[in-house]
């Protein structure tokens, strides 16, 4: 079976979590192609794509690849597919489950950004539409926005393409074109609810988008029912997302208002998503001495051990314009001290091989240029080494990845001065 995964905007993070989740699920895969837009894999068994789609914060769509068509480098995509989309083929392989007026959409993804594809979705869509109309089928075509090659998940969902027809996807390389259809799309409405409908939101504190929290949770490679700690839990984004993934979650924060907010949010979240109360524990604690709370939870047999830490600690002050270098240095110094004490304390309960996934501030100096914490001594001196977000065996064939020299990935948003550097440590 061949599948393609359409990656989110921060594609390095999307790819990192996807590879880790496939690994945890024990799925043996061969990577056929990878680009900043899509990963194409072959798997010896069929995948539970609904489950994977829900699990992956950074994957926009999962496609089933139906055929691979050869292409000469100089050929346009529509030229190489001119004899492919026969009405009989479309009806058997793409649109076979639809009834009533068919609605179909078309998206193009690229394996090489230099391939010229402007206008291709429209040309291909019109060609398919005409062929089917001539064969007596009534249908409606949904096309990407003028300046885009692909349909947003909103469009696929609102136009009921998966229920009433199909989204036909073309993943084009220089010498091959993969043709398939969308099996699942990310449930953007549910992510919106998980973020904006929470009773407590706190922009000042800086909240993790639920999708990113999910991606970070996936990076630790835990199994369902493992226990994960967020010792800087704020209003509880990691706690809700982890509990939804069936992990046992522990959330602590030094600020009692934050914990009160987490409690309210988790109560709302628990009711909505049917999370049992024993799935999470919240308390006020300084992250530098969180082991006391862990010991207490072990004593009352609420947990056996902590398998991993996933957290977004304080990043320091937020800025609307680039701060002075001295301010950045002072913050780096403060954070190094804070995390040194935290890592020392984590060693009281984390076992060898346990992972910590966390965020550090990355000050955006220019396009793809960041000032990052200069030293990771706070971790290495406590016996924690970094692990690259993408394993070396994959990274060496993926030149498009944006992995920093120390194996981390930056999650940033347009116009953001302080971005998040996502880093993985492993206890030695």
Ligand X SMILES: C[S@@+](CC[C@H](N)C(=O)[O-])C[C@H]1O[C@@H](n2cnc3c(N)ncnc32)[C@H](O)[C@@H]1O
Q: CB of 348: closest distance to ligand X in angstroms?
A: 15
Binding positions for ligand X, 182-211, rule CB under 6 A: 205-208
Q: In this chain, which residue has its C-beta nearest to ligand X?
A: 234
Q: CB of 1: closest distance to ligand X in angstroms?
A: 37
Q: Does 232 bind ligand X (CB under 6 A)?
A: yes
Q: Which stretch binds ligand X (CB under 6 A): 71-79, 158-166, 310-318, 372-380?
A: 310-318
Q: Which stretch binds ligand X (CB under 6 A): 5-13, 101-109, 187-195, 312-320?
A: 312-320
| 370/333 Cα distance (integer angstroms) | 17
Closer residue to ligand X (CB): 131 or 206 = 206
Q: Does 255 bind ligand X (CB under 6 A)?
A: yes
Residue 228 in contact with residue 217, Cβ under 8 Å?
yes
**From the list 14, 237, 240, 307, which residue makes contact with ligand X (rule: CB under 6 A)?**
237
**From the list 76, 157, 314, 388, which residue makes contact with ligand X (rule: CB under 6 A)?**
314
Q: Does 254 bind ligand X (CB under 6 A)?
A: yes
Q: Does 229 bind ligand X (CB under 6 A)?
A: no
Q: Does 282 bind ligand X (CB under 6 A)?
A: no
Q: Does 426 bind ligand X (CB under 6 A)?
A: no
Q: Which stretch binds ligand X (CB under 6 A): 27-35, 173-181, 253-261, 420-428?
A: 253-261
**From the list 47, 62, 287, 357, which residue makes contact with ligand X (rule: CB under 6 A)?**
287
Residues near ligand X, by CB under 6 A = 205-208, 231-232, 234-235, 237, 253-255, 258, 286-288, 312-314
């Amino acid at each position: 079976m061949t599948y393609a995964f359409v990656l989110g905007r921060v594609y390095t993070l999307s790819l990192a979590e996807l590879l880790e989740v496939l690994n945890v699920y024990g799925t043996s895969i061969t990577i056929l192609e990878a680009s900043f837009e899509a990963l194409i894999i072959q798997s010896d068994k069929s995948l539970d794509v609904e489950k994977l789609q829900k699990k992956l914060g950074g994957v926009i769509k999962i496609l089933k690849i139906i055929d691979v068509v050869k292409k000469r480098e100089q050929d346009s995509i529509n030229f190489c597919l001119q004899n492919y989309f026969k009405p009989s083929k479309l009806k058997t392989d793409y649109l076979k489950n639809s009834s009533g007026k068919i609605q179909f959409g078309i998206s193009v993804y690229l394996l090489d950004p230099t391939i010229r594809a402007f206008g291709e979705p429209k040309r291909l869509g019109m060609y398919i539409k005409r062929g089917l109309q001539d064969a007596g089928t009534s249908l409606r075509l949904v096309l990407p926005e003028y300046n885009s090659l692909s349909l947003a998940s909103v469009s696929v969902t609102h136009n009921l393409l998966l229920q009433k027809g199909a989204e036909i996807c073309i993943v084009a390389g220089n010498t091959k074109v993969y043709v398939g259809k969308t099996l699942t799309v990310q449930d953007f409405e549910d992510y919106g609810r998980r973020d904006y409908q929470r009773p407590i939101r706190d922009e000042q504190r800086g909240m993790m988008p639920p999708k990113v929290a999910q991606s970070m949770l996936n990076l630790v490679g835990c199994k369902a029912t493992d226990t994960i700690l967020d010792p800087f839990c704020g209003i509880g984004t990691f706690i809700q997302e982890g509990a939804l993934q069936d992990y046992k979650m522990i959330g602590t924060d030094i600020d009692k208002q934050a914990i009160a907010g987490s409690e309210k949010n988790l109560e709302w979240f628990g009711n909505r998503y049917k999370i049992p109360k024993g799935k999470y524990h919240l308390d006020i604690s300084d992250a530098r001495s969180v082991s006391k709370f862990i010991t207490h939870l072990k004593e009352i047999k609420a947990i056996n051990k902590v398998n991993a830490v996933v957290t977004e600690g304080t990043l320091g002050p937020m800025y609307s314009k680039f701060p002075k270098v001295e301010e950045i240095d002072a913050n780096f110094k403060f954070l190094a001290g804070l995390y040194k004490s935290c890592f020392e304390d984590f060693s009281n309960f984390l076992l060898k091989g346990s992972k910590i996934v966390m965020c550090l501030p990355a000050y955006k100096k220019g396009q793809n240029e960041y000032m990052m914490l200069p030293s990771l001594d706070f971790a290495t001196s406590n016996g924690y080494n970094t692990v690259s977000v993408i394993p070396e065996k994959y990274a060496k064939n993926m030149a498009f990845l944006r992995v920093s020299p120390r194996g981390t990935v930056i999650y940033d948003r347009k116009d953001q001065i302080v971005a998040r550097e996502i880093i993985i440590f492993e206890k030695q």
